[in-house]
Structure 1
Amino acid sequence: MKNDKHKKIIPFPNLKERLIDKGMEALKSKHYQEALEFFSEAKHMDEDKAEIHLGIALCLMEMGELEEAKQVCKQMLNEDIGHYFTVLQVYLTILIQLREYEEVQLTIEAVLQENQIPAESAEQFYKLLDFSRKMNQSGDFDIEEEEPEFENWMSSNVFMEDPNQQIQYIQSLRDRNLVKHMDTLKSLLEEPRAHPVIKTMVLQLFMENELAKEVTIYKFGESLSVIPADLNDISDLPFTKKVLNLLDDTLGNENPTLFEAVKELWIRHLYVLFPLLPEPPEASLWAAALHKVGYGFHGIELGYEEVEEIYEISGFRLREAVEKIEKVEEMSYFYEKEQ
C-alpha cells in the first residue's frame, strides 16, 4: 500500500483559467468582493499571470481599498507584469483618487524621459501631466465639490436640524468615489440625531457601491452591524412580498386603486425602517394595519372589527400596528424628496 503522504494533489483541468474567467465575469457584474476571491484563489496557482494581478488591482480600487490597489499596480510596474501602459493608466487613476498629484507628475515625467509613450496615448498623458503640475502648484484639490469638514459640519446644530442639507450632500455623491467620504457617511449612520431616512439613503448608497465592509447603524434605539453588499433591495425582501400578497388577496380584489396606494405606503414604511423590519414580523398583522390605514388616509371609515375578522387577528395588536404605521408615515416625507 502506497504512503498517502506522497500522493500528489492534482487540480481540476483548467481550474486556474476557470477561476480567472469567473473573476472577470464577477468584475463586469460589479460583484467586486466575489471577483477578488476568484482572482486571489487563482493567484495561489500562478504568481506571475498579469490578468490575475490586474484583476485584483481593479477589484481593490472599486472596493475603495486604494492603498492596496496602488501597491499591486506598483509591483506590476516594477516587475514588468502585464501590459505596461494598461497597468500605468490604472495606477495613475488610483493616484488621482488618492490625490497624490506629485506622484502622478513624477511618474509621467519619468515615462516621458524614456520616450516610451505610444503615439495614441501621448495627448492624454501630456494633459494629465499639465493637470497634476497645476494641482501641485496651486494646492487646490477641489476637482469636485469638496467634502465639508466633518468635525465642524457634523457638530453644527444648523446642519443637524436641516436634513435637506444632508440629502443634498448624499445625492452629490452619486457616481463618485466614496473613499474620501467614508468617515462622514459612517458617522451619519451612527449619529442618533440623524433622520432615519438619511440613514437609509446612506445605506443604499453603500449598496449601490457594493461596499463589502461591515458598518454600524443606529436606528430607532437599536444598534446593528450590516454588510451593505449583502443587503437586499426593500421590494425584494420576502417579508415585503408576503404582506403585499396578503393585501392583494383582500384589498387588491376589493379596491385595486387603493391597493396600489397602500403598496406605496408599505414600501415607504419599510424604507424608513430599513434595514430593520417591523416588529413583530407577522405578515397578517401588518397587512391588516395597512388595510385599515389605507382606507383612513383616503377618508373612508373602516371599523377595526371588520379588519380583525378579515385577517383573524386581535384588536389590541392591530391598534398598535396602526399607530406604528401612522408614526413612521409622519417621518417619511423625506422619502419623496430622495426618489
Structure 2
Amino acid sequence: MKKNEHKVIPFPHLGELLMKKGMEAMEEKNYKEAYRYFDQGIQIEPDHEDINIGLALSLVELGRYQEAKVIVKRMMEQGIGDYFHVINIYLMILLQLNEHGEIIHVIEALFDEQQIPPERVESLENLLAMSKRIVGQQTDPSQPSQTEGLPIDETEVLRILENGTIEEQLYILSSLSNQNIRPWTDVLCQYLIEEKHPFLKTLALSLLREQEVNKTVELDKFGQRWTVNIEDLPKVEETEFLKMLQKELSEKLEHNDPIMYEQAMEMVKRHNILLYPLNIDHLSIWAEAYERLVKEAYGLVWDEPDEEISGILEEIRKLEGITFPVI
C-alpha cells in the first residue's frame, strides 16, 4: 500500500444502527429523518432487506412513489428479502401511482407461477378484478368522466364504499387522502355508523381529522355507538390507550426482556388502530394481560389468570383474530 493511501473501514454494525434509528424515526412519523438514516444505511449494506424496505416505505410516506418503486423493483429483480412480502409492497406503490395495468400484469404472473399463498388468493383476485374495471373504464369513452383526484367515477366510488371488498374500500379511502375530502364528508360520516371493518373506520375518521373537519359525528364500533367531535380527537398514535400501555409495558418488560416488550407493543399498536377512538378502562389490567400473553408464548406462565385478567385476555385474542386489510 502506498504511503498516505488508506482503506475505509466502516464502524462495526453501523448498518444495523442506522436501520434501528430509521425504524425509530418511522415510528415517530419523522419520515424525512427516517429516509436520511435508511439512505445512509443502504450505502453500507445495499442488499439488507430491512434497510431497503425501510427506505422504500419512508419514500412512500414522503409521497415519492416513483423512487420507492425503483427500490422495490430492484429488490424483486435481485431476490432481496421475502419475495411475496416485497411483491405486496410493490402492489401498494402501484396502487398509489394508479398503475393498474402493471398491477394486472404482476398479479396474473403470480397466478401463472402459482406463487400465491392460499390466504391471499381471494384478496388478490379482488384487486385484480378492480384494476381490470378501472383500466376498462379509463379506456372506454362511453364511461362517465372521472371524479377529480380519483381514478374512477363518483358512482363507482360510492358503490365500492357501500358494497366493495375490504381491499377495494381500503384503496378508495387511501385515494381520498390525497385530495380535499370535504365533498365526501357526509359519505364518510355515514360510513362510520355502517357495518364496516374497524380498521377502515379508523382510516375514515383519521381522514376527517387530518383535514380538520369540524363536525360532531356518530360512530359505531364493536357493538358500541357514541358521539364524537372530530376536532377533539387525538391522533391515532397519541391515544391514552397507546401511551399508558407503552409506559406500563416498558416498566414491566423492556429492561428485562426487550424482545417480549417489542412483541407486546406490536400487538398493542395493532389493537390501538382497531379500537380508536374508544376509551378503554382499567389500562393497568390490560398491561398485565399483554404481559401475560407474551409470556405464555414462551411457556413462562402456568397458573390460571384471575377472572378480570381472563376477560381482558379474551378481548385481546378477539382483536388478534381480526385480519388487517393489507395489499
TM-score by length of 2: 0.51
1:290 aligned residue? 290
Q: Does 1:333 pair with 2:324?
A: yes
For residues 155 and 271 of structure 1, the distance between their equivalents in structure 2, rounded to whole angstroms, comes to: 22
1:165 aligned residue? 168
2:275 aligned residue? 273
The residue correspondences of 1:90-239 to structure 2 (distance < 5 A) are 140=145, 142-145=147-150, 146-149=153-156, 152-156=159-163, 159=164, 162-192=165-195, 194-239=196-241
1:182: how far off? 1.9
Tell me if the contact between 2:249 and 2:261 (Cα under 8 Å) persists in the aligned partners. Answer: yes
For residues 222 and 173 of structure 1, the distance between their equivalents in structure 2, rounded to whole angstroms, comes to: 26
2:60 aligned residue? none
Structure 1 residues not aligned, in runs of 5+: 1-138, 309-314
Q: Letter of the aligned partner of 2:286 in structure 1?
A: W
Q: Letter of the aligned partner of 1:190 in structure 2?
A: I
For residues 304 and 277 of structure 1, the distance between their equivalents in structure 2, rounded to whole angstroms, comes to: 31
1:301: how far off? 1.6
CA-atom RMSD in angstroms: 2.5
After superposition, give the CA deviation of every residue in 1:264-301 in whole Å (9 maximum; x if it has no partner): 211211110111133xx1122111111122234xx412
For residues 292 and 182 of structure 1, the distance between their equivalents in structure 2, rounded to whole angstroms, comes to: 42
1:257 aligned residue? 259
What secondary structure does 2:225 align onto? strand
Tell me if the contact between 1:214 and 1:228 (Cα under 8 Å) persists in the aligned partners. Answer: yes
For residues 211 and 322 of structure 1, the distance between their equivalents in structure 2, rounded to whole angstroms, comes to: 36
Tell me if the contact between 1:197 and 1:332 (Cα under 8 Å) persists in the aligned partners. Answer: no
1:183: how far off? 2.5
Tell me if the contact between 1:234 and 1:271 (Cα under 8 Å) persists in the aligned partners. Answer: yes
Distance change (3 Å), C-alpha of 1:140 and 1:269: closer
Structure 2 residues not aligned, in runs of 5+: 1-143
For residues 219 and 232 of structure 2, the distance between their equivalents in structure 1, rounded to whole angstroms, comes to: 15
Q: Letter of the aligned partner of 1:181 in structure 2?
A: W
Q: Letter of the aligned partner of 2:174 in structure 1?
A: Q
Greater Rg, structure 1 or structure 2?
1
For residues 277 and 169 of structure 1, the distance between their equivalents in structure 2, rounded to whole angstroms, comes to: 28
For residues 207 and 155 of structure 1, the distance between their equivalents in structure 2, rounded to whole angstroms, comes to: 21
Distance change (3 Å), C-alpha of 1:147 and 1:178: same
For residues 241 and 194 of structure 2, the distance between their equivalents in structure 1, rounded to whole angstroms, comes to: 28
Tell me if the contact between 1:147 and 1:181 (Cα under 8 Å) persists in the aligned partners. Answer: no
Identical pairs, percent: 26
1:303 aligned residue? 301
Count how many residue pairs are aligned between Structure 1 and Structure 2.
Answer: 183
Tell me which moved more, 172-181 or 231-240.
Answer: 231-240
The residue correspondences of 1:42-53 to structure 2 (distance < 5 A) are none
Tell me if the contact between 2:250 and 2:261 (Cα under 8 Å) persists in the aligned partners. Answer: yes
Q: Letter of the aligned partner of 1:165 in structure 2?
A: E
For residues 302 and 191 of structure 2, the distance between their equivalents in structure 1, rounded to whole angstroms, comes to: 39
After superposition, give the CA deviation of every residue in 1:175-220 in whole Å (9 maximum; x if it has no partner): 201122223211211102x111110010111111111111111111
Distance change (3 Å), C-alpha of 1:150 and 1:143: closer
TM-score by length of 1: 0.49
1:304: how far off? 5.8
Tell me if the contact between 1:270 and 1:277 (Cα under 8 Å) persists in the aligned partners. Answer: no
Tell me if the contact between 1:196 and 1:219 (Cα under 8 Å) persists in the aligned partners. Answer: yes
Q: Letter of the aligned partner of 1:292 in structure 2?
A: R
1:151: how far off? 6.3
1:324 aligned residue? 315
After superposition, give the CA deviation of every residue in 1:212-244 in whole Å (9 maximum; x if it has no partner): 111111111111111222111233233432222
2:249 aligned residue? 247
Distance change (3 Å), C-alpha of 1:151 and 1:238: closer
1:154: how far off? 5.0
Tell me if the contact between 1:212 and 1:230 (Cα under 8 Å) persists in the aligned partners. Answer: no
